[in-house]
Structure 1
Amino acid sequence: MSKFVPRQSFPLSNVVTSNFQRHHRNALQKMEALRGDVDLFIELRDSRAPLATRNKMFDHLIGARPRMVVYTKKELSFFTEEMAKKLHPTSPHALIDCRSHADVTKLLDHWRDLYRSMSPAPPLGMRVLIVGMPNVGKSTLLNHLRERGTDKKARVQAVGGMPGVTRKVSGIIRVSESPSVYAYDSPGVFLPKVQDPEDMLKLILIGCVPQTIIDPVILSDYLLYRLNLLYPNGSAYKDIHGPTNDIDDILSAIWRKRFARKRKGNEVDEKAAALNWLDQWRSGGQGRRKLKLLLDTLPESYDPLLR
């Protein structure tokens, strides 16, 4: 039997890039009104797509104000601190799991140190504004910041797995008592237009954009393409099928395993199977196995050690 060889490219001719010119304009205007009161901007990016989830609109919003880039969902990504340092050799950054007590505490400690270094220190406490694309973890981080910094466990922001859960710039919330640090949450702000069709696929796959924009079978095929690059022995989906470049193999196997007994007839519903597979991966993998992704091609990102 010949050795399995993953595809090295993916056809993008059927991928439509949508225009979001009118979206989130109101939120940006409210953020701009707060800019003078903010001591530190925290820009969140999803570490599974660290380049695609950068929003250049924040460069204009933040300007010369202090900024820290925080890469979230490290537990689901191959993105490493060494890679982050290559992107930010001299500027503050962090790579975190938003639900990790250790990571959240380290982030809070950095902000507290920054507060103590300010001269004069803000008499009413330091204020941070958390920004980012939709569904990169802003509200999850804010809830855990508040819990770790103030010992209050009540959830202050709704959390969801799809974009658009936070609808407006929130009121200010205390996330540290000594010294006083306050944070604003904000709705996710998407790019006015996505130029690269592959970036659109990445953003839909990780939940920054509603998946209704793209046929789920095409999106599943892109996921298979990426999984084969990262796991060329097919281990990412070994419970479903052997190594393959054909998405029909995967979707047919999913249908037989998860749907066939509940539905009449032998015809495979590829859309239902594709949505099921995408939902599993968007939440982190196959059942209890939390397998990692890295959708952006970075230096050393496909190093054999990562496999």
Structure 2
Amino acid sequence: MSLATKELVLRSHFELKTAILKWFPRHMNRGMREMMQTLRKVDCLVEVHDSRIPFDWMREMMQTLRKVDCLVEVHDSRIPLSGRNKDLIRRLSSLKPHILILNKSDLMDIRYQRRIKERFQSEDSNSRCIFVDSLNPNTRVNGFPEILPTIIEVIRDSDRFNREDFNGFNLMVMGIPNVGKSTIINKLRNTNLRVSGKATTTGAIAGVTRSVLERIKINANPPVYLYDTPGVLEPRIDKGLETIMRCAVCATLSDQLIGYKTIADYILYWLNRHNNHRYVKLLGLDTPSDDITEVLVKGSVYLQNIVEHKSLEKGQMVKRPDVEHTAQQFVTAFRKGQLGRVMLDDDLFK
């Protein structure tokens, strides 16, 4: 849906209006150099870590990999290139067959599915790519019936699969936070074993899974087991601000870290550049705008998101638009597909 954009002036590129993300990789090299220089003056190194993951999960994952027949990577289909740690995946898949499951296919622009598969196959001819919608119960369209047969086929075709003591196929599932890894595991288990409940924790917050779990059985005949890996595997975001923001839009980075207003600003920027002005109706605007402050203020009034606070000048309670809440509603609407199917990485396929 497009509206007249005669007076709409688009930004040529996206810029942050606030300082965020100081821990990102572009700062890490400098930080590491400074730390190594300072280390010469230090007498003792004190490490602080999360008590819920006291062991080196990467070492644990590499040890578990020896028992695994296939590596199953889960990622968000709206960002098939952004955020994937391709160096780590390439390193692991050189040892084991590799399946890429692109989840949330109901939210992606389906015109890109063929191009994604072709690109993935060109990078690794021995791998497979499957599109799924983990929240759709309809097996005719959700892609789940394709997963296990494809995995078993890839394993059996592999030169590395030659075990005389065969007692089932072992899979390792990995991916960056909040791409639907645990949901896919639970659905495979519940569907194939006809059981209920959750074998692994799910949630809408990035990084719910904290450590490598025990082997989870997801199929009886043939026996198929899998290991779920930590949700602390961070997105690969050293490709610039666009990659950071695309991961943030898809909630693979913490909303609290980035901020809803910043995420909403990038969504507005992306929608306008793709001539998608459905947000105008959502937020009750008269015309499209590329000014996030204007959009959120007018949207707050339209949605009646008003808060009261005490004015220091007047000494009394005054009302103002709750732009933070409106930004959150805007981001949620985009993530749920209410503003249309998208391919955030479309420029990477040109």
- For the aligned pair, the TM-score class normalised by the smaller chain equals 0.7 to 0.9
Please state if 1:94 is matched with 2:130.
yes
Instruction: Report the Cα offset of residue 129 of structure 1.
Output: 0.5
Cα RMSD of the aligned pairs, angstroms, is 2.9
- Of 185-194 and 64-73, the range deviating more from structure 2: 185-194
1:72 to 1:85, Cα distance in 2 relative to 1, 3 A: same
Structure showing greater radius of gyration is 2
Equivalent positions of 1:16-55 (< 5 A) are: 16-19=20-23, 26-55=56-85
The equivalent residue for 2:277 is: 234
Aligned-partner SS, 2:225: strand
2:83·2:236 contact (CA, 8 Å) conserved in 1?
no
Aligned-partner SS, 2:167: coil
One-letter amino acid of the counterpart of residue 273, structure 1: T
The whole-number CA distance in structure 2 between the counterparts of 1:120 and 1:170 is 24
The whole-number CA distance in structure 2 between the counterparts of 1:290 and 1:246 is 18
Aligned-partner SS, 1:225: helix
Unpaired runs of at least 5, structure 2: 29-48, 309-316
1:135·1:164 contact (CA, 8 Å) conserved in 2?
yes
Instruction: Report the Cα offset of residue 203 of structure 1.
Output: 1.4
Instruction: Report the Cα offset of residue 133 of structure 1.
Output: 0.4
1:112 corresponds, among 131, 149, 152, to 152
Instruction: Report the Cα offset of residue 74 of structure 1.
Output: 0.8
The whole-number CA distance in structure 1 between the counterparts of 2:276 and 2:113 is 26
- Of 5-14 and 85-94, the range deviating more from structure 2: 5-14
Instruction: Report the Cα offset of residue 272 of structure 1.
Output: 2.8
- Of 13-22 and 218-227, the range deviating more from structure 2: 13-22
One-letter amino acid of the counterpart of residue 130, structure 2: A
One-letter amino acid of the counterpart of residue 65, structure 1: K
Instruction: Report the Cα offset of residue 150 of structure 1.
Output: 1.3
Aligned-partner SS, 1:291: coil
The whole-number CA distance in structure 1 between the counterparts of 2:164 and 2:194 is 24
Please state if 1:291 is matched with 2:291.
no
2:176·2:252 contact (CA, 8 Å) conserved in 1?
yes
One-letter amino acid of the counterpart of residue 19, structure 1: W
2:21·2:258 contact (CA, 8 Å) conserved in 1?
no
1:74 to 1:267, Cα distance in 2 relative to 1, 3 A: same
Aligned-partner SS, 1:134: coil
Identity over the aligned pairs, expressed in percent? 24
2:306·2:320 contact (CA, 8 Å) conserved in 1?
no
The whole-number CA distance in structure 2 between the counterparts of 1:225 and 1:212 is 20
The whole-number CA distance in structure 2 between the counterparts of 1:215 and 1:299 is 25
Note the alpha carbon deviations across 1:88-142, whole angstroms, 9 max, x for none. 1233111111234341111122123345555557611101100000111100100
Please state if 1:60 is matched with 2:96.
no
The whole-number CA distance in structure 2 between the counterparts of 1:7 and 1:248 is 14
Aligned-partner SS, 1:267: strand
Give the structure-2-normalised TM-score: 0.75
Instruction: Report the Cα offset of residue 15 of structure 1.
Output: 5.5
- Of 181-190 and 100-109, the range deviating more from structure 2: 100-109
Instruction: Report the Cα offset of residue 252 of structure 1.
Output: 1.6
- Of 66-75 and 119-128, the range deviating more from structure 2: 119-128
Give the structure-1-normalised TM-score: 0.84
One-letter amino acid of the counterpart of residue 37, structure 1: K
1:269 corresponds, among 308, 322, 338, to 322
Instruction: Report the Cα offset of residue 223 of structure 1.
Output: 0.7
2:295 corresponds, among 222, 225, 250, to 250
1:279 to 1:121, Cα distance in 2 relative to 1, 3 A: farther
The equivalent residue for 1:304 is: none
Aligned-partner SS, 1:207: coil
**Greater relative CO (CA pairs within 8 A, separation 6+):** 1
The equivalent residue for 1:280 is: 333
Equivalent positions of 1:90-169 (< 5 A) are: 90=125, 91-100=127-136, 101-102=139-140, 103-114=143-154, 117=157, 119-120=162-163, 123-169=166-212
2:279·2:339 contact (CA, 8 Å) conserved in 1?
no
Instruction: Report the Cα offset of residue 257 of structure 1.
Output: 3.0
1:215 to 1:262, Cα distance in 2 relative to 1, 3 A: closer
The equivalent residue for 2:266 is: 222
Note the alpha carbon deviations across 1:22-79, whole angstroms, 9 max, x for none. 8988322221111110100011111111111211333334433211111111111115
